[in-house]
Structure 1
Amino acid sequence: MRSSFEKGFSYGCCRLALFTKNSSNSLILCDYDINKTRNLLSTFALSKLRFTNYRYMAKVMRIKKGLSLNLKGKAPEERLRPLSPSSTYAVVPDDYPGLLPKLMVREGDRVLAGSPLMYHKGAEELVFTSPVSGEVLSINRGAKRKILSIEIKPDATIEYAPFDISRAANLPADQLRNLLLSSGMWSLLRQRPFDRIADLRQTPRDIFVTAHFTAPLAPRCAYMLAGREAELQAGLSALAKLTQGKVYVAVEPGAFPNLKEVERVEVSGPHPAGLCGTLINKIAPVNKGEMVWTLKATDAAVIGRFLLTGKTDFSRPVALTGSDAAQHGYTELLPGCRVREVFADALCVRKEHERVICGDVLTGRKLDDSNPFFPQGCDQITVIPEGDDVNEFFGWATPGFGKLSHSRSFFSWMSPKSREYVVDARVKGGERAMIMSNEYDRVFALNILPEYLLKAIIAFDIPKMEDLGIYEVAPEDFALCEFVDTSKIEIQHIVRQGLDLLYKEIN
């Protein structure tokens, strides 16, 4: 803790904080040489300061534009009781944007955890592996024989495919890349532009990792990875070998102070402060011809655990949140499990009129009978009312003291900021024409004109899309715009289509 005496000043790009602690003067340095700083301090008649305690400070990024939705149902920092086993696990191709799957197994085949199930049509080295050992139970197909899922009946005890990780810490970049590809760990990496699985043929300019989740009811990453710092560091150290630039890690203030081989960025402010797109836009925007990677810190920890143990264990801490969740807290889930089977009666308060979302309420995927599996890379399950059993007569004309509204349509804007709201899944209106009222810009933190970019995407005007910043955005960056949009336009879907069409046009 700092004492009452605290002083800060700036010199060029260097920020120093001077303070006393236990009657002894200490100095915190930020990216500046100690000898130069000592000379600088003597100029300010502070030469008697003792350099007894110094450390490097992280960059600080404060986001002002955005919107934090204070919803009911946050997960307390406690563990849930043991869960029920899942009868089957599945790998779903639609969980990986841009994937063109080709099967490598048949029904009835025996597989180990880490055995390849399918590969990407454009790159046979990019394989997607089984989360468990067992028997391939079924390969489910849809229209035009599209692969919907590969289901596996798990063994009582999981057996892992062997991988040689004896020299993983000293592997050169090309061999490390091959190890991540053959183990299926590459599927955790995303690239900008196009927000799809990272291109294995290109080296990223930089890598951006987010360890600070700011979405509604988002879990606290520092708690999720408590005790797993070694796994996180191993993953980040491996990523640092795969880029010629830097690995930027966005953290909440004070979290993960001992990370090495990366550049910590302490972020604060409303959502979308914790998104990789915000970090990219504020630190090093992506220009045409450049490519960066993005991932979550929990994904980096999964990679690190594989490099330390040799096991392709994709399990991760997950938060159960939402106003209609039967319990709230953290648990460990393996991607591909059947969510309703695993949680059983502990998932929902009621048995009907509820929506279970894998992810947050802004960007998550609805859990239904057609896809009941927990997706890869997800850290949160949200349960809210569906709203299909609610009938309001002239609901828009009521005072709405308990209704969440960003536009001050209801008197709830007079409530204290600490108030928690219960929201449901109703859209409350049909799609209308886009209104240029600057409502997107109020919550859009990126240095981009969202309305004009959306119009360019709809018109598929490639030069304008490039000029307006299409290469550094992802659908999640527009989630708040979709939430506040009075026109009820599916903005994230438009951005996703635009990115996919642009990728096909260029490639």
Structure 2
Amino acid sequence: MSKHFKLKRGFNIRLKGTAEVVLEDAPAPKTVALKPTDFPGLTPKLKVKAEAKVKAGDALFFDKYNPEIIFTSPVSGTVKSVNRGERRKVLEIVVEPDSTSEYIKFTKADPSTLSREQIREQILKSGIWPFIKQRPYGVLAKPGDVPTHIAISAFDSSPLAPDFDFLFSKEQAALQTGIDAVSKLTDGKVFLGLSPEQSSGVFSKLKNVETNTFSGPHPAGNVGIQISKVCPIGKDDLIWTLSPQALVYIGRLFATGQVDFSKTIALTGSEVKTPKYIKTIHGTELTDLLKGKTKGEVKERIISGNVLTGEKVDSDNFLGYFDQQITIIPEGDEYEFMGWAAPGFDKFSASKAFFSKLLPKKEYALSANMHGGERAFVLSGQYEKFLPMDLLPVHLLKAILVNDIDKMEQLGIYEVIEEDLALCEYACTSKIKVQNILREGINSMIKELG
């Protein structure tokens, strides 16, 4: 039975640059890439070398510790390069598309007629499995596991987030096929989280799911927050999560018998001339995608993803594996007269430190300036205002800093990943790198307990 959850804790960062409901086709990318660094804890093993010819759906690399999880090329073409970092760590596998668009053939079938093992094998061989994450820890789901439930958030509440109903307005058939497929992977339920505004949208028409609505400020759209309300994670529970985009990829796979990694993203931010939606390909190079689309008035920060959890990239980098938007904001590395002592009519803060609090609907062109360095990490009760979960986030982080496994368990580390505490990092007066600390704690848990 559908329930409504009204979340009071959280915060909306009012940024300029929301994407207009306009769709544009991106130019064909010169290169696309998969980045193993997008996957925490992954140790990649290559299956191709530079100059190798590949088809869309051919394996590029696999997980050393779970060899059945492979990562496939989104296009047909030639492997241009394998870029490495320190200690020969694989950073990118770059593919140069050709004009033939050849595809590996997979089974075309109705998922409702297939067994769990057949569906699992098809998703694995196609390279779509890496879109499935597990909670706790937010790492790749293990194919041999059977999750207690599967959870999907059908909306994004992060700053300048794309409108999922617009993104997937023409993908209802693929979404439904994807739901039918993943529902076979669990003995429990498939939970779908909606916002109240989606009551008549494309997601409201999906079957074979249990829908719940969530209202309130960010992070209401985070799947981890939704899980905490509908199926809280215990020590022995296993919840799988995936995005609507992953459902579409899975749906296309079973409907056509081939991988189709085309996707629509939102180009957002105050430094974009005309924020809009762009149809492109998974892992596309950003150079041509962004050419002529930014204002160029100040030094810009390009973020693959949103401003809270996205990755800072250069213009010749590539779209992140899970990212549905690109955000461009001022770098903010110039001198600021009076700094925090200014009245702040054009400043925005999670506190009430500036006069901007008198303008509750104004949007701001915020920069990436940190406004100070790291300070003493004290108990202030500040974080709890931004996390709609029954946790003590500062106590959890301090337990991580001293590597107290028992305390980390007791304080709820199974329930959160970086995106859930990203607002705490934004609002933190001590400038603590909350997300990095949390990932260190998660890595410790995996190392100690598996």
Answer whether TM exceeds 0.5 for this pair.
yes
Checking the alignment, whether the CA contact within 8 Å between 1:119 and 1:127 is kept in structure 2 is yes
1:362 aligns with 2:308: yes
Give the Cα separation in 1 of the matches to 2:426 and 2:7: 19
> 3-state DSSP class of the match of 1:67?
coil
Give the Cα separation in 2 of the matches to 1:230 and 1:83: 24
Q: For residue 242 of structure 2, what is the aligned residue in structure 1?
A: 295
Q: For residue 278 of structure 2, what is the aligned residue in structure 1?
A: 331
TM-superposed deviation, 1:351: 6.9
1:424 aligns with 2:367: yes
Q: For residue 460 of structure 1, what is the aligned residue in structure 2?
A: 403
Out of 226, 234, 238, which is 2:181 matched to? Answer: 238
Give the Cα separation in 2 of the matches to 1:472 and 1:65: 17
Out of 258, 262, 269, which is 2:205 matched to? Answer: 258
Aligned length: 446
**How much identity, in percent, do the aligned residues show?**
42
Checking the alignment, whether the CA contact within 8 Å between 1:401 and 1:412 is kept in structure 2 is yes
Q: For residue 480 of structure 1, what is the aligned residue in structure 2?
A: 423
Letter in 2 for 1:442: K
Checking the alignment, whether the CA contact within 8 Å between 1:70 and 1:216 is kept in structure 2 is yes
1:322-343, Cα deviation, whole Å (9 max, x unpaired) = 0111221111121221112223
**TM-score, length-scaled by structure 1:** 0.86
Letter in 1 for 2:326: I
Q: For residue 60 of structure 1, what is the aligned residue in structure 2?
A: 4
Checking the alignment, whether the CA contact within 8 Å between 1:83 and 1:343 is kept in structure 2 is no
TM-superposed deviation, 1:502: 1.2
Unpaired segments ≥5 residues, structure 1:
1-30, 32-57
Q: For residue 292 of structure 2, what is the aligned residue in structure 1?
A: 345
Q: For residue 348 of structure 2, what is the aligned residue in structure 1?
A: 404
Give the Cα separation in 1 of the matches to 2:112 and 2:187: 18
1:162 aligns with 2:162: no
> 3-state DSSP class of the match of 2:292?
helix
Q: How does 1:201-280 map to 2 (within 5 A)?
A: 201-253=144-196, 254=199, 255=201, 256-280=203-227
Evaluate the alpha carbon distance shift between residue 466 and residue 188 of structure 1 in structure 2; reply closer, same or farther with a 3 A threshold.
same
Checking the alignment, whether the CA contact within 8 Å between 2:26 and 2:280 is kept in structure 1 is no
TM-superposed deviation, 1:59: 1.7
Evaluate the alpha carbon distance shift between residue 105 and residue 352 of structure 1 in structure 2; reply closer, same or farther with a 3 A threshold.
farther
Checking the alignment, whether the CA contact within 8 Å between 1:71 and 1:423 is kept in structure 2 is yes
Q: For residue 391 of structure 1, what is the aligned residue in structure 2?
A: 335
Out of 98, 121, 134, which is 1:178 matched to? Answer: 121
TM-superposed deviation, 1:127: 0.5
Runs of 4+ aligned residues of structure 1 deviating over 6 Å after TM superposition are none
Checking the alignment, whether the CA contact within 8 Å between 1:163 and 1:311 is kept in structure 2 is yes
Checking the alignment, whether the CA contact within 8 Å between 1:299 and 1:377 is kept in structure 2 is no
Letter in 1 for 2:184: K
Checking the alignment, whether the CA contact within 8 Å between 2:111 and 2:177 is kept in structure 1 is no
State which drifts further: 160-169 or 313-322. Answer: 160-169
RMSD: 1.3
1:454-497, Cα deviation, whole Å (9 max, x unpaired) = 11111111111111111111100000000110000110011111
Give the Cα separation in 2 of the matches to 1:104 and 1:209: 31
Letter in 1 for 2:206: L
Give the Cα separation in 2 of the matches to 1:372 and 1:152: 13
1:188 aligns with 2:134: no
TM-superposed deviation, 1:363: 0.6
Give the Cα separation in 1 of the matches to 2:209 and 2:84: 43
> 3-state DSSP class of the match of 1:356?
strand
Q: How does 1:306-325 map to 2 (within 5 A)?
A: 306-325=253-272
Checking the alignment, whether the CA contact within 8 Å between 2:10 and 2:388 is kept in structure 1 is yes
Checking the alignment, whether the CA contact within 8 Å between 1:431 and 1:488 is kept in structure 2 is yes
> 3-state DSSP class of the match of 2:266?
strand
1:128 aligns with 2:71: yes
User: Which structure: larger Rg?
Assistant: 1
RCO (CA 8 Å, sep 6+): is it higher in 1 or 2? 2
Unpaired segments ≥5 residues, structure 2:
none
Checking the alignment, whether the CA contact within 8 Å between 1:386 and 1:425 is kept in structure 2 is yes
TM-superposed deviation, 1:167: 4.9
Evaluate the alpha carbon distance shift between residue 139 and residue 352 of structure 1 in structure 2; reply closer, same or farther with a 3 A threshold.
farther
